[in-house]
Amino acid sequence: MPEQVWRPRAVGAQAKSELLGLCCLMPLCGADLKAEMDRVVTSSDASMTGLGVSRTVGLSPQGIEFCRHLISCSSLGASPMVSLPSPKIQPRILALGLFDGIGGLRRSLERLEAHVVYNVSVEWAPRAQRVVREAWPGTREFGDIRLLTREAIAQLLDTAVELRIQVCITAGGFPCQDVSLLNKFRAGAGGDRSGLFKEWIRVSQLFLSGCLSRGLLYLGVGECTIMTQADARSIDQQCQWPRIELCSSGASRVRRPRNYWTSRQLTPKPGFDISPRAGASSGRLWGPLEPTEMWTMPGWAWPLVTNEARLPTFTWAIPRA
């Protein structure tokens, strides 16, 4: 009887599809589908030159709202997908924090539930830089505002266009040591530290012109402590933005009077009053005060609990004029 010889045969399209599906399902062949689900969601990807792994650290505000929606539908016996509310359409934002500290701008936008796609931090202090890296991995960092050259800003804005960003926000409080009324030995707006306000103006103007040429909306804010009228006028003349003097004491237990320069004229809103006057407008925030239990140790009480009492910005001795 002649020996049977195996000859290769062409594999049909359906067989190829089934073999591909089997290969994709191979990990499930060794998985325990009865195992408890891990609360941490991970994702990974790789290319010929590198790889990346990420994990979840918590739910976004949208995720929390969706979970509440699922619980509500479950209690009512409704289909969660049929009654799913339409998602809020939020603008995609580039946030540039100048003299950023521990990420004040990024944290403020986070509390407003804004959709920050690209976060840029300009801060020289290593400890503050570590805080920003830990809180918002992937932040683009500059250690010195003077490193934000015209070319670097153009590159940031080109990246913003690639990321389909619609709004660019720059904000920062330049150093106040040379202009603060608390400093007996202040050098004024021309001092080495407070004089960096000129760099804030330069960067803001470059961002404004770059956004206009790329069809992006620009919003800018600068901030510093209350200072002499001469120093304030000097900055006003160079900045050419409207200035408003604003204190947080109407909605906080801390007195913190500040100057704010904004690229757009502010308008009154609920909780925010404006009184126009020569030189600069005067603003007032008002709202419910936070309970002292939020920042006192358990079992302790703060004696200044009346609505009139406010904590000073600084509570240690500083040489004064």
Q: How far is CA 20 from CA 14, 23, 24, 89, 284, in A?
A: 10, 5, 6, 39, 66
pLDDT at residue number 205: 96
Angle among Cα 109, 110, 111 to the nearest 5 degrees reads 90
What is the CATH code of the structural domain delimited by 92-289?
3.40.50.150
228: confidence class by pLDDT, cuts 50, 70, 90: very high
Position 252 scores a pLDDT of 81
DSSP 231: H
CA–CA gap between residue 240 and residue 243 (Å, rounded):
9
> Residue 294: is its pLDDT beyond 90?
no
Report the distance separating Cα 79 and Cα 262, nearest Å.
47
Q: What is the largest CA-CA distance in the chain?
A: 116
Per-residue confidence at 164, pLDDT binned at 50, 70, 90? very high
Instruction: Average the pLDDT over 23-42 and give the result.
Output: 81
Strands 115-122 and 140-142: parallel
Nearest-Å Rg of the Cα atoms of the chain is 28
pLDDT of residue 76: 63
Position 321 pLDDT exceeds 70 = no
**Percent of the chain whose predicted confidence (pLDDT) is above 90:** 44
What's residue 5's pLDDT? 65
pLDDT digits (tens, 9 = 90+) for 85-112: 565 678 999 999 999 999 999 999 998 8
Domains of the chain, residue spans: 92-289
Average pLDDT over residues 303-317: 62
Taking the alpha carbons at both ends of the chain, their separation in whole angstroms is 116
Give this prediction's pTM. 0.70
**CA angle centred on 124, ends 118 and 130, rounded to 5°:** 65
- Residue 39's pLDDT band (boundaries 50, 70, 90)? confident
Q: Is the dihedral of CA 106, 166, 148, 118 positive or negative?
A: positive
pLDDT of residue 12: 84
Judged against a pLDDT cut of 90, whether residue 296 lies above it is answered with no
